[in-house]
Amino acid sequence: MATNEVYQYSLISALMDGVASNGIPISQILSHGDHGLGTFQNMVGEMIILDGEVYQMKADGSVVHIDPEETITPFATVTKFQPTTTVKSTLRDGKKDLQSLLDELHPEARNHFLAIRLDGAFRKIEFRTAGGQCRPREGMVDVCSRQTTHTFVGKRGTVVGFRCPGYVMGINVAGDHLHFISEDRQRGGHILGFETEGEVRVGVAVLSRLNLELPKGDGEFDGARLAKDEEGIKAVEG
Amino acid sequence: MATNEVYQYSLISALMDGVASNGIPISQILSHGDHGLGTFQNMVGEMIILDGEVYQMKADGSVVHIDPEETITPFATVTKFQPTTTVKSTLRDGKKDLQSLLDELHPEARNHFLAIRLDGAFRKIEFRTAGGQCRPREGMVDVCSRQTTHTFVGKRGTVVGFRCPGYVMGINVAGDHLHFISEDRQRGGHILGFETEGEVRVGVAVLSRLNLELPKGDGEFDGARLAKDEEGIKAVEG
C-alpha cells in the first residue's frame, strides 16, 4: 500500500440511504491503510483506525477492540498515514481553530484531501456515537436522530480525521471529519466539538489520490437512489 | 494495471474552470489503461485512446496519432478494458438506444461505472471538437462555444466511452460520454449524436473502482474554485 493516498469503501450517500447490511472484511480495509474512519454493519457505532488497530465506539460511549478478520464494514475511509507536516498547537475553539491551522499550513491544498492526527490532552471533547439501524435500509439521518452525545473533561487521547474537498460531497463528507479515542482506548466517538488542554501535536499529510471501491454484488447498494442530501450529510457528519 | 478499473487524472470541474495549462505525460496515463477519453494541453482537440493508441482529434476534424512520451494531458479517464458483455445491436436513435441497451444489459450497475466500446458501420455521426483555449484559464463553456461540429455519413469506426454514476458529477461527467474515431483513424471527435448502419458490436464492462489522481504542484489547479457547474457540464459534455 502506498503512503498518503485515500482508500475508501462505498459512499457516504449510501449510508445516508441506509445501505449498511453488507460490506467487506475490515482486514481488507487495513491492507490499504492504518489510519481511518468508518462505521460498522447496520451503523452500530463509530469506527476509528489508529496505527492499524480498529476500535468500535458504541452508543454507551464504550470501546471494543475489533478483530479485523471477523468483522465487516459497509463504509470506511483510510490512508497509510505518514505526516508530512507536524506542529504543536493550542486549539481553544477546537474545530474552528483546527480549520484555520490547516488552512494556514496547507493553503495550496484546498482542492486536495488532508489526513489529520492530533495527540495530547483535551480540556473538553463533545462527541456522539450512532447506535445503529432499527431496521435494514433505515437512513443515516434517522439513525443519528437517536445518537447519544457524551462530554469528556480532561482526557488524553488521539483525534483521527480527514478533510475532503467540496467536490466529493456525497462520495465522502466535504470538510473536516474527526473521530476521537482516549489514550486508554476505553472511550470515544464522532467529534462534535473540542478544546485542547494547552498544546497538542498536530500531524498532517496532503493526499492527492482517491481510490474509491464500490460494493460489488450488493443488492442494497445497487438499488439505492444515492441522491446527494448535502444538508443531511452536513447535519449528521459536519 | 488491473483490468476494468477507472483511472482518472484531474477533474472535469477543473476543465470547466479552465485548468488546462499543465498535466502529466500521456505515457503515465497509459500505464493505467488502454481505452479512454480526455483532452490535451489548453484543451486543443479531443482525446481518444483505443487499444492503447492515442489520437488527438482536432477542430478541423483531422486526427493526429500522438507520441505518449512527448505529450501531456490536463484531463483523462482510462481503463484497461476487458468487455464482460458483448452483444450485437442496431442503434437507430444512437445515444438514446445505447442508453436503453446499457440499462437493459446492466440494470444492477446504475451506481457503478461502465466502459463502452462500439465497433461497426455508422449511417451518421454528429460530433464536435474543441479548438482550444484563447487564453490560459479560459473555461470550458467558453472554449466549447467556439467548437466546430461535423457530420459523417456512412463511416466505419469505433466509439469509446464511459457511463459515470450521478454522484461523480463534477469529478467526471455523469451519464454517457462518447468519442468516435473512424476506422482509417483519420477523423473523429466528441459525439453529439449517431445512428448505426445495421448492427454494431457493443462491448461493455462494469467498473467498480475509481482511482482518481489529482494534479500535484499545479498552481492553476490549486487556485481553482471548482464550483460544480452541473448545467454547464451537461451543456458541453452531455
Average pLDDT over residues A105-122: 97
Q: Does residue B65 sit at the A interface (CB-CB below 8 Å)?
A: no
SS3 A196: strand
CA B111 to chain CA mean position, Å: 19
pLDDT value at A66 more than 90 = yes
Q: State mean pLDDT over A214-236.
A: 88
Interface probe, candidates A13, A22, A111, chain B, greatest B C-beta count within 10 A? A111
Query: How many angstroms separate the CA atoms of B79 and B165, rounded?
Result: 16
Residue B238 reports pLDDT greater than 80: no
**Which residues, in sequence order, are bridge partners of residue B202?**
B87, B118
Q: What is the mean pLDDT of residues B131-135?
A: 94
The answer to whether A93 contacts chain B (CB < 8 Å) is: no
**Contacting residues for B132 by C-beta, under 8 A, at least 6 apart:** B42, B43, B44, B45, B59, B143
Section B176-187 average pLDDT: 96
Name chain A contacts of B213, Cβ cutoff 8 Å.
Answer: 208-209
- Give the per-residue pLDDT at B196: 97
**Closest in B108, B111, B216 to A208, CB measured:** B216
Residue A170: HSE in the Cβ half-sphere, 13 Å Cα cutoff = 16
Look-up: residue for cell 470506511?
Answer: A76
How far apart, in whole angstroms, are the C-alpha atoms of residue B133 and residue B136?
Answer: 7
Q: Kindly report the average pLDDT of chain B as a whole number.
A: 95
Q: Is B99 helix (H, G, I), strand (E, B) or coil?
A: helix
- Contact between chains at A13 and B167 (C-beta distance less than 8 A): yes
Question: By the 8 A CB rule, do A115 and A79 touch?
Answer: yes
pLDDT value, residue A231: 79
- What chain B holds in terms of domains, given with CATH numbers, is 6-237 (3.30.1330.80)
- Yes or no: say if A82 and A205 are a contact pair by the CB < 8 Å rule: yes
Residues belonging to chain A:
238
Q: What is the mean pLDDT of chain A?
A: 95
pLDDT tens for each residue of A141-151: 999 998 889 99
Nine-digit cell at B172? 467526471
Q: Answer whether residue A210 shows pLDDT above 80.
A: yes
A121 touches chain B (CB under 8 A): no
Instruction: Answer yes or no: do B211 and A208 touch at CB < 8 A.
Output: no
Confidence of residue A237 (pLDDT cuts 50, 70, 90): confident
B216 → chain A, closest CA residue: A208
For residue B12 the three cell numbers come to 472535469
What is the structure's pLDDT at A229? 75
Q: Report pLDDT for B60.
A: 86
Q: Does B208 touch chain A (CB under 8 A)?
A: yes
Q: A232 or A173: which carries more pLDDT confidence?
A: A173
Q: A-chain residues within 8 Å CB-CB of B208?
A: 213-216
Residue B226 C-alpha cell reads as 471548482
**Average pLDDT of span B76-88:** 98
Q: In this predicted structure, what is the pLDDT of residue B236? A: 80
Report which secondary-structure segment, H or E, holds B222.
Answer: helix B219-223
Task: Report the distance separating Cα A137 and Cα A180, nearest Å.
Answer: 27
Kindly give, in sequence order, each residue whose CB lies less than 8 Å from that of residue B31, ignoring residues fewer than 6 positions away.
B1
Q: Is the pLDDT of residue B173 over 80?
A: yes
Band of pLDDT at residue B1, cut at 50, 70 and 90 = confident
Chain B within 8 Å of A1 (Cβ-Cβ)?
A: no
% of chain B surpassing 70 pLDDT: 100
Give the pLDDT confidence of A164-182 residue by residue, as tens digits. 999 999 999 999 999 999 9
- The whole-number pLDDT of residue B3 equals 97
Q: How far off is chain A from B81, nearest CA to CA, in Å?
A: 17
Strands B75-79 and B35-39: antiparallel
Which grid cell is B109?
450497475
Kindly state the cell numbers that stand for A24.
467487506
Is the pLDDT higher at B233 or at A69? A69
ipTM, two decimals? 0.96
C-alpha cell at A204: 498532517
Q: So what's the pLDDT on residue A230?
A: 74
Q: What is the pLDDT of residues B102-122, one digit of tens each?
A: 999 999 999 999 999 999 999
Q: Which residues neighbour B186 within 8 Å (Cβ) at sequence distance 6 or greater?
A: B62, B63
The reported pLDDT for the residue numbered A147 is: 87
For A230, the 3-state DSSP assignment is helix
Shortest alpha-carbon distance between residue A157 and chain B (Å) = 32
- Bridge partners of B201, per DSSP, are B88, B119
Question: pLDDT tens-digit profile of B26-48?
Answer: 999 999 999 999 999 999 999 99
Mean pLDDT score, B4-11: 98
A31, amino acid identity: S
**B213/A167 Cβ within 8 A:** no
Q: Is A228 part of the contact surface with chain B (CB cutoff 8 Å)?
A: yes
Which of A187, A1, A201 lies closest to A89 in space, CA to CA?
A201
